A and B are shown apart, each in its own frame.
Chain A
Amino acid sequence: MNINVDIASTYLFSNKKLTMVAVMGVLLGMSIYIFMNSLLVGFDRTSNVSIFKSTPHIRIYKDDEISKPLLENKASKSIIINPKVVPSSNTIINYKDVMSLARKHEEVTLVTPQVTATVFFNTGKIQIPGMIVGVVPDEADIMFNISSTIIEGSFKDLKKDINSIAIGSGVAEKLSLYIGDNISVSSAKGVIRNLKVVAIFKTNNSAVDKSKTYIHLSTAQQLQKENNVYVTDLNVAVKKPEKADEYTADLSQFTGYKAEGWKQANEALMAAFRMRKIVITFVSYTILIVAGFGIYNILNMTVSQKINDIAILKAMGFKGKDVIRIFLTQAMSIGVMGVVGGMLAAATLITILRKVYIGGDIGYFPIDYELSKFIQGVVVGLVITFFAGYLPAKKAAGVDPVSIFRK
């Protein structure tokens, strides 16, 4: 064994308590770091899953237009200015062409039309406001994974009958509706249709469950007193939803309509997520750095205790870098033990918690073994250990033996 390593391990073993305290510090810091960051990944994953149940990756629609000055004057101010929203239909003209234009984008996997309208649902005397979403059932199912939220009936049945409807569990409850019951839907345009309930879904977002329903695209068009080219939105799915925002500019240009990514559409939620990410990142790094301070302190203490040893070692020919190696070896040994222990502790914690059922929107505790976070934790942990050890080691290397021997 190398003599520097030999000395380092003797110091570690002759002061087991101190060593264990330092190792425990790193172990706890490491496990919490990995755990919190894995949890963050889990949170984002479940949040995204629930967002994608009602929001497409990208939505293409006709944005409101603001009226332009009547007489454009480049040199000075325009002559007549009265900007306001131009009253025009919010339909996408020639939507089939627009769809095929959108499909040309290489990241796009699916484009499906949709008509959204606010309506009233009636059964007997009760009338409640709500929303109908007219869709192509198969495509909408792929887009929003509606089948996974169905608690009664089957979403597949929607496509068999043009006069059928899938309703949210809240709507069903309020109107006491069961599979096979009829519901009358009246639109703002005065059209009334009787539809048969074929499926009830539950998204765990009660606002959605209390108002949302899915019907056939053509039925929705009829309720809006429009023909079969009337479409308000095109929903787009892409290969990498994380990057949806990067494709919106292209899609706007391809199609000539406004394209909005899911992050933009859920700006408030995204802000909350960012906040969550900042807090968790900050806390997890802080804990690791505190563990680093533990190593730093304990090594500083060792250096002070062993100052005579350092002096005599330097007298007998150990170089500054040998002394650095002795103390850095101690720090890194503590670090490696702590990091390995921390990984095991984090893995244990995750193994236990991922089986815990939380309920509500979340279901099982949203955490999994995130390899990338384990790797990240090991790297960050070892880097912090290195610096926490290097500073005292550097101090030890700088000890002037003469000043010690004079005492």
Chain B
Amino acid sequence: MATIVETKNINKYFYDPVEFHVLKNVSFAVSRGEFLSMIGKSGSGKSTLLYILSTMDTDYTGELYIDNELVTGFDLDKLAMIRNEKIGFVFQFHYLLPEFTCLKNVMLPALKFKKLSTKEIEQKAYQKLELLGLADQALKTANKLSGGQQQRVAIARALINDPAIIMCDEPTGNLDSKNTKIVFDTFKELTVNMNQTIIAVTHDEEFAKNTDRTIEMMDGMIIKHTS
């Protein structure tokens, strides 16, 4: 199977307040279409690793490959373009722009990408909202929705450019079981039907168990892969 994300010997230190070796020789690969979960105790370095994979954190040693391209050392603008095209993000908090409608929020990454006309982007955004069961909420401003709905809008936004990879940090952390199920099923469908890759940090055992593969971290190292 084709590799979509790969790391080689990633090391990272924090220096404040004291020197701290947060990631130690992390090497692993993720295949296209894989649903990967990362678990581990709080403070084990999951988020730190995810931010490096996301290309937003460039302060590390080692190599990061996205779609078989070595992106380590790229300048910030180039990394921004890679994120825009290839990576969607879902965080524990939704990070929607509160003054914009849900529709506009979903459209934002595509308006930046500029591959399609505004009309086409709008249609596509409607499709994504529909996928998440939110078509009827499209024209409400983001701050008028419930927490679960907002998180689903955020997922629709992550999908708008049909990114190869969707990275999530505790995507269901704030959700009830019903919404958690919707999110999980959506992700599963994307990996199966669209061959998109999901990398999700979670502390939800149930969620992790149902993914294709689970990586467990401890003290900045990968200690176990379970398929």
Chain A interface residues toward B at CB < 8 A: 3, 6-7, 10-11, 14, 308-309, 311-322, 400-402, 405-406
Contacts between chains A and B (CB distance < 8 A), count: 65
- Contacts A315-B56, A316-B157 given; indicate if A405 touches B51 (C-beta within 8 A): yes
- Contacts A402-B57, A405-B51 given; indicate if A316 touches B99 (C-beta within 8 A): no
**For residue A404, which residue of chain B has the nearest CB?**
B95
Q: How many residues of B contact A (CB 8 A)?
A: 29
Q: List 8 A-B contacts (CB under 8 A).
A: A3-B108, A7-B97, A308-B95, A312-B95, A317-B83, A318-B80, A319-B80, A406-B47
Chain B interface residues toward A at CB < 8 A: 47, 51, 54, 56-57, 76-77, 80-85, 88-89, 91, 93, 95-97, 99-100, 108-109, 111-113, 157, 169
**For residue A406, which residue of chain B has the nearest CB?**
B47
**For residue B169, which residue of chain A has the nearest CB?**
A405
Q: How long is the Cα–Cα vector from A240 to B77 in the complex, in angstroms?
A: 57
Which B residues touch A10, using CB under 8 A? Answer: 97, 99-100
Contact partner of A320 (CB less than 8 A), chosen from B76, B84, B113, is B76
In the A-B complex, the 3 residue pairs with the closest CB atoms: A317-B84, A312-B95, A14-B99
**For residue A311, which residue of chain B has the nearest CB?**
B95
Which A residues touch B113, using CB under 8 A? Answer: 317
A314 x B100 contact (CB < 8 A): no
B108 x A315 contact (CB < 8 A): no
Q: How long is the Cα–Cα vector from A22 to B77 in the complex, in angstroms?
A: 32
Cβ distance A142 to chain B, nearest Cβ, rounded Å: 69
Q: How long is the Cα–Cα vector from A331 to B99 in the complex, in angstroms?
A: 19
- Main secondary structure on B side of the interface with A: helix
Which A residues touch B169, using CB under 8 A? Answer: 405
Contact partner of B112 (CB less than 8 A), chosen from A308, A318, A405, A406, is A318
Cβ distance A95 to chain B, nearest Cβ, rounded Å: 78
- Contacts A309-B97, A311-B95, A406-B47 given; indicate if A316 touches B56 (C-beta within 8 A): no
A320 x B95 contact (CB < 8 A): no
Cβ distance A133 to chain B, nearest Cβ, rounded Å: 76
- Contacts A402-B51, A406-B47 given; indicate if A315 touches B112 (C-beta within 8 A): no
B56 x A401 contact (CB < 8 A): yes
Cβ distance B45 to chain A, nearest Cβ, rounded Å: 12
Which A residues touch B51, using CB under 8 A? Answer: 402, 405
A317 x B85 contact (CB < 8 A): yes
Q: Which residue, of A308, A321, A402, A406, has the highest number of chain B Cβ atoms within 10 A?
A: A402
Q: Which residue, of B54, B81, B96, B99, has the highest number of chain A Cβ atoms within 10 A?
A: B99
- Contacts A3-B108, A309-B97, A405-B51 given; indicate if A317 touches B80 (C-beta within 8 A): yes
Cβ distance A367 to chain B, nearest Cβ, rounded Å: 44
A316 x B108 contact (CB < 8 A): yes
- Contacts A402-B51, A405-B91 given; indicate if A316 touches B76 (C-beta within 8 A): no
Q: How long is the Cα–Cα vector from A103 to B149 in the complex, in angstroms?
A: 90
A3 x B80 contact (CB < 8 A): no
A3 x B112 contact (CB < 8 A): yes
Which A residues touch B100, using CB under 8 A? Answer: 10
Q: Which residue, of B81, B85, B93, has the highest number of chain A Cβ atoms within 10 A?
A: B93
Cβ distance A19 to chain B, nearest Cβ, rounded Å: 13
Which A residues touch B97, using CB under 8 A? Answer: 7, 10, 309, 312
A315 x B77 contact (CB < 8 A): no
Q: How long is the Cα–Cα vector from A11 to B96 in the complex, in angstroms?
A: 14
B84 x A316 contact (CB < 8 A): yes
Cβ distance A307 to chain B, nearest Cβ, rounded Å: 11
B56 x A402 contact (CB < 8 A): yes
Which A residues touch B112, using CB under 8 A? Answer: 3, 316-318, 322
**For residue B160, which residue of chain A has the nearest CB?**
A316
| Further pairs besides A316-B83, A405-B51: 9, Cβ < 8 Å | A3-B108, A7-B97, A10-B97, A309-B95, A312-B97, A315-B95, A317-B109, A317-B112, A318-B80
Which A residues touch B47, using CB under 8 A? Answer: 406
Q: Which residue, of A14, A315, A321, has the highest number of chain B Cβ atoms within 10 A?
A: A315
B76 x A315 contact (CB < 8 A): no
Q: How long is the Cα–Cα vector from A26 to B100 in the complex, in angstroms?
A: 28
Contact partner of B76 (CB less than 8 A), chosen from A7, A319, A405, is A319
Q: How long is the Cα–Cα vector from A315 to B163 in the complex, in angstroms?
A: 13
**For residue A11, which residue of chain B has the nearest CB?**
B99
Cβ distance A222 to chain B, nearest Cβ, rounded Å: 90
Which A residues touch B81, using CB under 8 A? Answer: 317, 319
